[in-house]
Structure 1
Amino acid sequence: MRFIAASLIAFATAVTAVGNAVVSNGSDEPFYVWSVGSTVGERREVLPGSAIVEAFRHDAQTGGIALKITKTNDGLYTGAPTQIFSYSLDGEQVWFDLSTVFGDPFKGHKITVESANGPKIEWPTGTHPGGSQVKVAPSKNDVFFTLHK
C-alpha cells in the first residue's frame, strides 16, 4: 500500500510539474521586475550577471502573468519605459510574448526570449522588429528572457 501511495504522489507531481519564467540580466546595469496578474508582486532588483526565477502560475482573474521590467526602481508607478515579458499557463503549454509600453527601455541591447526545444523571440536592437511575437512551448520547460549587452 505504501508503494502505491508513493507511486501516486510521484505520478501526480510529474503530471503537474511546470517550468519557470527566468529573467536574466546580461547587461552592465541593474533593472527591476514586478510580476503582475490580478495583483502586483513586490519589486525585485536584477543585478548585472544575475537572474530571477518564477514558477509558471495561472491567474484565475487575468489568465496570464506580465513580468514588467524597467530601468528605474519605481518605473512601474511613474510611467517609465517598460519591457513586458508575459506568459499564460495553459495546461501542458505555456504561451509567451514580448512587448513594451511607454517606450523601449532596452533600445540598443539585444533581447531574447526562448525555451529549450521551442521557439525563440529575438529583438536584435531592443525594439520590436515587427510581426507577431506570441510563441508557445511545453509548460514543463523553462522560458528565458535575457537582456544582452
Structure 2
Amino acid sequence: MRFVIPSLLAFATSVTAIGNTLVFNNSTSPIYVWSVSSTVGPQQTVVSGGLYMEPLHRDENSGGIAIKITKKAGGLYSGDPQQIFAYSIDNAQVWYDLSTVFGEPFAGQRVEVTSDTGGSIIWPKGSNPGGSQVKVASSDENVWFTVYGAPGV
C-alpha cells in the first residue's frame, strides 16, 4: 500500500490552495470517522486502503475541529474507544494533536500524524508514548492521520 500514498498526496494537493486534513486507513479493517466541531458531521466509513479528506477549516463557535475515529460503526455514540485527531487553523498555521478517549482503539497498531514541514506525531503501538503531542505546520499543507495494521498483518 505504500505506493498509494504518493498518488493520494498528489491528488489531495491539487484539490485546493488551503491544506486538507486526511485520514488514511492502511489497516485491514474499516474505520469510522466523524468531523466534530460545534456540530457533528455524518459518520464516514473508510475501508482498508481508503481515505477521508476535508479542507482545513475553522469553526467559528468552537474554534477547533476534532476528527474522531472508531473501529466500530456508530462508535461515537456507544462509548467505544475513540482516537481523536484534533486541529485548529490560525491564519497561516494549523496546530494539531492526537489523543484518545474511552480507551485506545488502535492499541498494538501504529498511528501517526504527519505533514510536509510540521512535526510528526508517532504512536508506534497505538498509545501515547508520552510528552507533548501538539505540533504545527503551515495551513496550506496537508496534515495526514494514518492508521496501520497490527504488526505481522
1:34 aligns with: 34
Look up the match of 2:104: 104
Q: TM-score, normalised on structure 1?
A: 0.88
Shift of 1:109: 0.4
- Within 2, Cα distance between the matches of 1:36 and 1:93? 20
SS at match of 2:114: strand
- Deviations 1:61-105 (Å, cap 9, x if unpaired)? 110000000011110001100000000010000000000000000
Percent of pairs identical after alignment? 54
| Residues in 2 aligned to 1:88 and 1:117: alpha-carbon distance in whole angstroms | 17
Q: Kindly indicate whether residue 69 of structure 2 is the aligned counterpart of residue 79 of structure 1.
A: no
User: What is aligned with 2:123?
Assistant: 123
Mapping of residues 1-149 of structure 1, within 5 Å: 17-149=17-149
Amino acid of the residue matched to residue 138 of structure 1?
S
Per-residue deviation at 1:17? 3.3
Q: TM-score, length-normalised on structure 2?
A: 0.86
- CA positional deviation for 1:148: 1.0
Instruction: Could you tell me which runs of 5 or more consecutive residues in structure 1 were left unpaired when the two chains were aligned.
Output: 1-15
Report the Cα distance in structure 1 between the residues aligned to 2:132 and 2:117, rounded to whole angstroms: 20
SS of residue paired to 1:76: helix
Provide the C-alpha distance between the structure 2 equivalents of 1:77 and 1:25, rounded to a whole number of angstroms.
Answer: 21
Paired letter, 1:75: G
How many residues are paired up? 134
